[in-house]
Structure 1
């Protein structure tokens, strides 16, 4: 029954993706941006599913299992940071991409550059390709956590199965297939997480025994802040995750989705779907992590990132276990396909512009990127939580300030200086790395320091050159 339910949902996702083939246009623009005519509900559900991915199902549940209630600041900080930056930048991204016929993330930045932008565009393209491919590998790895636990599959089989399904529907329908399947996958993800929390809550017997059990884990498990931090450390902890949420502006695979929104529709329409799902799902994820600590108390006996599949197998009928497994697989696939297609756009538009008008070569780039991500996933030993936060932080530190600047200046004649772009990218990356190595900043998510450094460098170099 687990196999049947799991394979049934995977088959449904594949069919939805393949169905997009029927309405496609045979152009690279349609393949990479779905004709820029996507409904706000589809954009919102696709973007939020892409944003959350296997990090929520695997990494976040595992983090809550280990950290306790203090993990709630990841939710609060992340969503507030995401909301703040979207409110200030999303309209500008939408308008800039439509007016200038931009088809890639790097193109948004290059379109605002002075002089010949090809060197900058190439540099941005190389970094995007590198970071997103590692990110895709992390997502492929996340899907195997459940298949190993529930089906007994090897890590290799899980990774290859996910990669094969993604390749089939991405090849046929491009970004439209990715968005359509994301919308279906986001529904299954939310339903699966809600069912898990309901079954777990019923098993424990109510709120009172749940709280008693959680308080007995340790003296600090239900503390709002990590026990080892003082007041300054707590502030850094919260501020770090606020910047983590702001990092959405530097994620090519999510920004690309915002660029597909029909220009006749308001950004706020899309955001109503996006944030309803985001808040609901994040809260359910934290609840699931806390419930799993009560029902699976032996923290040293297993990999905490397998808490979700272990809990599902203990609590739920096999039909619903298959649903949970499909939901987790869907979460990883909704991000991998987005990452791979963003890399395809980068490869064919920014790195090898000779391919820009060839649909066949653009699809070839999809295959190359997905194959590379699969190889990395098969050989990497880091946890999903670490891999995703590293990739997200690197992208946010390198590009967040630049995309924000582009969005805020979409309607004027001010252009980016090439030296300012170089400085912003590399100062962000350097400070991100240094912050991660500095023990005194251990409570601060390094992306906060990286984004601040990048933004300050950008402002200083832009202003200096404007006055010189």
Structure 2
């Protein structure tokens, strides 16, 4: 019954994605932007399902299992930072997409103020491809880990299944298939997480019983994590602010931002945000609560803290509902993997190749090849899902978010300045991680600030582009 429930939901996702081919218009803009015809509800649900991926089901729950109550600052900071980014960029990005006629995130940035910055588009395409391949690999790894625990299948099996499904429906309908399946997957994700939260809380005697048992784990209910860069409240606040930059980093994520570029009318952006944040807040709070409860049920996961959710589901639920939980995990991984694969495909066909490719069969073949590369990366890499996602997320944010924010506020950087700020922000974030300081402060914070600083200083010292 467990396998049946799992396969039932996967088949549903595949059918929804494949059916989108009936609405295809056979153009490049339709394949990558759904001809900017997606209603606000689907935009919001797709964007939030893409944002809250295997990272949430596997990475955040594993982090909460280890960290305890202090992980709440990650949630608060991330959501507030995301809201800040939305206020600054979503509406302006959608307007720029319409104005420039571009179909990729890098393309919109490069043509924002009229004349195209070809060097910026090419370099942004390379950065997008490298980091999003790592991101896609992390999603496939997350699905593999869950399957390995629940079914005892080889660790490569989940990655292969996820890659095949993503390739099939992205080949069929492009981003429209991705958005439709994202919406269905978001429903399964929230049902799976809500079910596990309800059963787990009830089984320990309600909220009061859960808090009492958590208090017996040393340091688990501390408000701030250990090893902060500064002691006490000040260090805790800096920790929370740094994760606010992780939320702000959504502005630099091509696979999330492109969802808002598909909105059918820029005046409907508030409705899309409503759907996005309603789901986001409820789901993130539930995931954090489940992560804390998992410490009660699983006093020792060995070295596999990131597998806390599937292990707890197996202990608490009947087989069919365990299949639902696994489908939720897989839904989360695929909702991001398909988005990432399509963003990589657009980076290759629209940003990197010298000729403007319009034939959809070439776009589709490119998408399949990207999926194969992501699968290979997933099978060869052994890092944790949390670590992989944060590295890719911070790298993309440090490269792109400063420039996008600057452009949204009317900035007109010179071509060389734009490229320099992008590469400098990325370099700072990577060096911060290499030095090991990311455990104290999220590396996207210094990366984003350094990129913004370069743009602001250059605006004072150099003539602005006209």
Offset, 1:357: 1.1
**Residue matched to 1:420:** 417
Provide the rounded CA distance (Å) in 2 between the counterparts of 1:122 and 1:440: 30
Provide the rounded CA distance (Å) in 2 between the counterparts of 1:441 and 1:317: 40
Q: Is the 8 A contact 1:92 1:408 kept in 2?
A: no
**Residue matched to 1:61:** 61
1:49-77 per-position Cα deviation (integer Å, ceiling 9, x unaligned): 00010000000000000000000011100
**Residue matched to 2:173:** 173
**Residue matched to 2:373:** 372
**Residue matched to 1:107:** 107
Aligned residues: 462
**Residue matched to 1:251:** 253
Greater mean deviation of Cα atoms: 318-327 or 397-406: 397-406
Task: Identify unmatched segments of 5+ residues in structure 1.
Answer: none
Provide the rounded CA distance (Å) in 1 between the counterparts of 2:304 and 2:63: 11
**Residue matched to 2:82:** 82
Q: Is the 8 A contact 1:26 1:359 kept in 2?
A: yes
**Residue matched to 1:307:** 308
Provide the rounded CA distance (Å) in 2 between the counterparts of 1:324 and 1:290: 17
1:336-351 pair list within 5 angstroms: 336-351=337-352
**Residue matched to 1:290:** 292
TM-score by length of 1: 0.96
Provide the rounded CA distance (Å) in 1 between the counterparts of 2:39 and 2:316: 38
Offset, 1:113: 5.9
Greater mean deviation of Cα atoms: 170-179 or 360-369: 360-369
**Residue matched to 2:329:** 328
Provide the rounded CA distance (Å) in 2 between the counterparts of 1:185 and 1:123: 33
1:115-194 pair list within 5 angstroms: 117-194=117-194
**Residue matched to 2:320:** 319
Provide the rounded CA distance (Å) in 1 between the counterparts of 2:399 and 2:64: 28
**Residue matched to 2:211:** 211
Change (3 A) 1:197 1:398: same
Paired residue secondary structure (2:38): coil
1:73-118 per-position Cα deviation (integer Å, ceiling 9, x unaligned): 1110000000011112111001110122110011111103676622
Provide the rounded CA distance (Å) in 2 between the counterparts of 1:37 and 1:248: 22
Offset, 1:458: 1.4
Provide the rounded CA distance (Å) in 2 between the counterparts of 1:119 and 1:84: 29
Offset, 1:233: 2.3
Q: Is the 8 A contact 2:437 2:443 kept in 1?
A: no
1:439-454 pair list within 5 angstroms: 442-454=439-451
Provide the rounded CA distance (Å) in 2 between the counterparts of 1:16 and 1:183: 10
Q: Is the 8 A contact 1:46 1:183 kept in 2?
A: yes
Provide the rounded CA distance (Å) in 1 between the counterparts of 2:395 and 2:363: 26
Q: Is the 8 A contact 2:413 2:455 kept in 1?
A: no
The one of 240, 255, 258 equivalent to 1:238 is: 240
Provide the rounded CA distance (Å) in 2 between the counterparts of 1:439 and 1:337: 31
TM-score by length of 2: 0.96
Q: Is the 8 A contact 1:312 1:321 kept in 2?
A: yes
1:123-159 per-position Cα deviation (integer Å, ceiling 9, x unaligned): 1111111111111001110111110011111121111
Offset, 1:25: 0.7
Change (3 A) 1:467 1:85: closer
Greater mean deviation of Cα atoms: 274-283 or 360-369: 360-369
Provide the rounded CA distance (Å) in 2 between the counterparts of 1:441 and 1:302: 21
Paired residue secondary structure (2:52): helix
Tell me, yes or no, if structure 1 residue 466 matches structure 2 residue 447: no
Offset, 1:302: 4.7
Offset, 1:184: 0.3
**What is the RMSD of the two structures over their aligned residues, measured on CA atoms?**
1.6
Q: Is the 8 A contact 1:355 1:361 kept in 2?
A: no
Offset, 1:467: 6.9
Change (3 A) 1:439 1:54: closer
Provide the rounded CA distance (Å) in 1 between the counterparts of 2:67 and 2:105: 35
Provide the rounded CA distance (Å) in 1 between the counterparts of 2:257 and 2:263: 11
Q: Is the 8 A contact 1:32 1:174 kept in 2?
A: yes
Provide the rounded CA distance (Å) in 2 between the counterparts of 1:205 and 1:432: 44
**Residue matched to 1:202:** 202
1:216-244 per-position Cα deviation (integer Å, ceiling 9, x unaligned): 110x2101111343133212211110000
Offset, 1:263: 1.6
Offset, 1:321: 0.4
Provide the rounded CA distance (Å) in 1 between the counterparts of 2:130 and 2:452: 22
Offset, 1:35: 1.0
Offset, 1:441: 6.7
Q: Is the 8 A contact 1:131 1:391 kept in 2?
A: yes
Paired residue secondary structure (2:299): coil
Provide the rounded CA distance (Å) in 1 between the counterparts of 2:347 and 2:435: 33
Offset, 1:193: 0.2
Provide the rounded CA distance (Å) in 2 between the counterparts of 1:296 and 1:369: 38
Change (3 A) 1:266 1:32: same
Q: Is the 8 A contact 1:114 1:417 kept in 2?
A: no
